[in-house]
Every structure is written in C-alpha cells, then in structure tokens.
Amino acid sequence: MNSDVAIEVKNLSKLYKLYDKPIDRLADSLGLAGKKQFKEHLALNNVSLTVKKGETVGIIGTNGSGKSTILKIITGVLTPTAGEVNVDGHISALLELGAGFNMEYNGIDNIYLNGMMIGFSEEEINQKMDAILEFADIGDYVYQPVKTYSSGMFVRLAFAVAINIDPEILIVDEALSVGDVFFQAKCYHKFEEFKKQGKTILFVSHDLSSISKYCDRAVLLNQGVLIGEGAPKKMIDIYKQVLVGQYELPSSEGENLLDDDDIRKAAGEADERANAKLGKSDKGATDAKAGDNAGAASNKAKDAAANPNALEYGDGKAEITDFFVTDSNGTVTSSIIKGTEFTVHMKVKFKEDVAAPIFALTFKNIMGIEITGTNSMVEKAFLEPVKKGDVKEISFTQKMSLQGGEYLLSFGVTGFEQNDFTVYHRLYDALNITVVSDKNTVGYYDMNTTCKVKDADAGTD
C-alpha cells in the first residue's frame, strides 16, 4: 500500500446466510442440515475503494446498499467473505453509538471501558477526560448508571468519547445528527475541525447537503455494487436517479467509474440537450412583457445561461421544453439584482395523460448544496389532471434574497401514480443564475434586517 493511502479496499465481498428459523441456523452450524436451509444475500459485491490520507470521502446509497457493512469491515467489526482491507492509521469509528457501553456502569466507568476497548491506556484516558466531559455536557449525570440516562444524554456521552480520542482516521456512520440542535452544531464544528487538521475522514450520511459541503469525493453504492465515485455533486445527481428508479446498474461487475456518456445513457437522455431545445422550442414567454422581449437578444440570453451538460432523466410522459428567467422588467436574463423581483419560467409538454403533475424548481450553489426550492403542489397553484398533447407554462415569482454569487437552477415535473413517486422529466443544473449584490450578509440568505443604533437614555446603567 502506498504511503499516501490511509484505507485500501480490494475486491471486497460480504455474503450473509439468511435463515427462516433459528433452528435452521443451529442445524447448519453443527453440520446437521440435510439440505440448504438458508438464502444467500450478497451485501457487498466485489467493491474496491481507496482513500488517501487527509481526504474526506462520503459514501451514499439507498438503505441496504452496503454502506454500513463496508464501514464495519474496515473497522474490523465484521470479516469479509472475500477481498482484503488495509488501513494505515489509528481509527476512531462512530458507527453504532454506545456499542460496548455497560448499562450498569456510570458514565465515568464507561468512558474508561470504551477508551480501553479503542486501545488507549488509563493514563491517556485521564488526559482526555476533561475534554470528553466538557463535550458531552451532561453534568453530574456522568456519575449515575447509564441505564438512567435519557436517549439524548446517552448518545452525547458516546459521541464525546469517540470524537475526543484524536484519531488519524475518523469513520462516521450517520452519527452527526444526534442530540438537540445545539449539540448537533457542536458535532459539526468538531467535524470541520478534523478536516482543517488534515485528518482522513470516511463519512456515510443520507444528508446530501453535508456530503456536498464536507467531502472531497463521494462514492455511490447500490445493492452492494459500487456504481461510481467522483465529485460529490456528480454522484449526488446519479443517486437521485437511483432513488426514483431511473438508473440501471452496470452490466459488468466491478465497473465502478462513470463518465458523462454512461450517465446520459443510463438516464435515457433525449436526443436533444436542453440548450438545443431552447433553440427549437417556442420562445413565447409566459407573460406579455417576457413575450415582447423574446427576440434575438432573449434567445442569446437563454443560450448563455443554459447548461449544455445538464443531467436529464425521466419516464418520458412529460418534457420540459423551455426554461428561462426574467427580471422585474420582464427581460430575459441570467443576472438578478439582489432585492429585486424576478420570475422563473418553464414550459412543459405532456406526451401522456397525467393525473396530477407537480412542477418544481430548486436553487443550488456551485458546490451542489440545495439552498431553496418550491413546487406547484406546495404553492397550491395547480392540482389538476392534464391530457396528452397539453402544454403548460409555469411561472414562479419572488423577491431575490440570496447572497451575491453564482447559482444553478434545476427543474422537474413529477407526480404520484398509485402512491408511487414518479419522475416524468428532470433537468438538473440546467440554468446558471448570477445574483448581483453590493451587500452580502452571513449565510445563504439576506435576512433583510433593519438595524438601528441610538444613544442610551441618560442615567441608564
């Protein structure tokens, strides 16, 4: 293993035997089963992965995709059926918080117990005790048996023990969102501190914003197979296809990298990309002002803002044929002045009858973090059936309160069929919007605050 590699996973597979009855498991383990009494479940199938030192890698995937299994094998909790794992560095794992705690012991005793299980001496634990108690912040309850703790107190202590041992490699499985909002903020602050220190982090989460924000790279698993690895934004977009059944697994086992051609083929992309559609579609705008400006200048503005490599997929029952933004004067534009009103437009053509379509838009920052979004169902703007051949023009009007910067707009037409969520057409990162501002506050949104400062009354303490 190279000296710059922290974790190396080679051709890893994990096979579970699933028994219908406990007696079948016992008979099989004793060699008394006359015939096969179990079903085989391949939790991991020939997975290879390399994590470099100082890198933060996120693992995403649906439930049952093998995320927790691969973490448990890396940490030594499980043994693989096939393949090998090499680790260079001291690991701290936040997997099942509180695993190994003795419910009869008090908090202090469990700190020593867990610390020694991780591999620390009593002297080393003594040096870290103050930091652990300060982080857990459960007061005198630390001297009480943990069986008397609330669930919140229990996870706070477990997290504090695991996070304060100063590891070289931190492995986290859905453990940052524990406790109340203040403790969660403390957990994320510690996570950011680890990143700044250049520690290696392997991170599993369903919180896609956290994956996009913290990770240098993302790995996508599905049904035990490594679908792809690469930039978080790219992998998150593919994951969303998997969630709605719009992605097919690679035909050959071990194929683990996707290029843009693979993504487009798997998504069932239409013959024309979004920008080509803009050139051929009806340029009529939703309102009269936008219609008056839908000439050559408007077409140029649309083409300049459209992303030729927008990710698109859906079952084809509807098609987003046009999308653009107009400012407060109705002019098609890709730049909006902060504090002014603007409108997002989309045109949708239906190729089949749809009972109740939902029209949606989402703003992301350039890191792929979803900042805000809405849809016609939330806004109670349209809850009607449509017929094949119908064309709908949708507009979303609001005041621009985002901070100055670059943003990406995504569009979607979805709905429910027999209670199943269905994607008819989606365009991810289809349009670039620049927000122009001469005053940026903290965070993503301007609170539009009025601030007043005045002299205090004389005589006031």
The per-residue pLDDT for range 377-425, each reduced to its tens digit, is 999 998 899 999 999 999 999 999 999 888 999 999 999 998 889 999 9
CA dihedral 426, 427, 428, 431 (to 10 degrees): -150
Q: Are residues 336 and 309 in the same domain?
A: yes
Q: Are residues 278 and 379 in the same domain?
A: yes
Number of folded domains that form the chain:
2
Q: Are residues 224 and 366 in the same domain?
A: no
What is the CA angle 173-177-180, rounded to 5?
A: 150
Last residue of a domain, one of 261, 292, 314: 261
Q: Are residues 81 and 216 in the same domain?
A: yes
CATH number of the domain enclosing 392: 2.70.50.60
pLDDT at residue number 296: 53
Q: Are residues 208 and 81 in the same domain?
A: yes
Q: Are residues 253 and 284 in the same domain?
A: no
Q: Are residues 250 and 372 in the same domain?
A: no
pLDDT at residue number 276: 39
CATH number of the domain enclosing 22: 3.40.50.300
Q: Are residues 85 and 194 in the same domain?
A: yes
Q: Are residues 308 and 249 in the same domain?
A: no
Closest CA to 168 of 250, 254, 57, 87: 87
Is position 178 within any domain? Answer: yes
Dist. CA 305–CA 310, nearest whole Å: 11
Q: How far is CA 23 from CA 34, 35, 36, 38, in A?
A: 13, 13, 13, 11
Q: How far is CA 102 from CA 98, 106, 135, 293, in A?
A: 9, 8, 20, 71
Last residue of a domain, one of 261, 285, 309: 261
Q: pLDDT tens for the chain, 461 residues: list them.
A: 788 999 999 999 999 888 777 877 777 777 776 677 778 888 999 999 999 999 999 999 988 899 989 999 998 888 999 999 999 988 877 776 666 788 999 999 989 988 887 777 888 889 999 999 998 888 899 999 999 988 788 888 888 887 887 778 888 887 666 666 677 777 778 888 888 888 999 988 888 878 888 899 999 999 899 999 999 888 988 888 888 777 766 554 444 433 334 433 433 332 333 333 334 334 344 444 444 444 555 565 566 678 887 889 999 999 999 999 999 989 898 889 899 999 999 999 999 999 999 999 999 988 788 899 999 999 999 889 999 999 999 999 999 999 988 899 999 999 999 888 999 999 999 999 989 888 888 888 888 887 888 888 765 55
pLDDT at residue number 412: 95
Tokens coding 244: 């709605």
Is position 114 within any domain? Answer: no
pLDDT at residue number 280: 37
Look at the block and give the residue holding tokens 């579970």. Answer: 16
Is position 16 within any domain? Answer: yes
Q: Are residues 16 and 38 in the same domain?
A: yes
Q: Are residues 335 and 392 in the same domain?
A: yes
Is position 148 within any domain? Answer: no
What's the alpha-carbon Rg for the chain, to the nearest Å?
A: 27
Q: In the chain, what's the furthest Cα-to-Cα distance?
A: 95
CA dihedral 365, 182, 62, 359 (to 10 degrees): -50
Give the structural domain span for 370: 274-436
The residue type of 400 is M
pLDDT at residue number 13: 93
pLDDT at residue number 351: 96
Q: Are residues 384 and 306 in the same domain?
A: yes
Is position 356 within any domain? Answer: yes
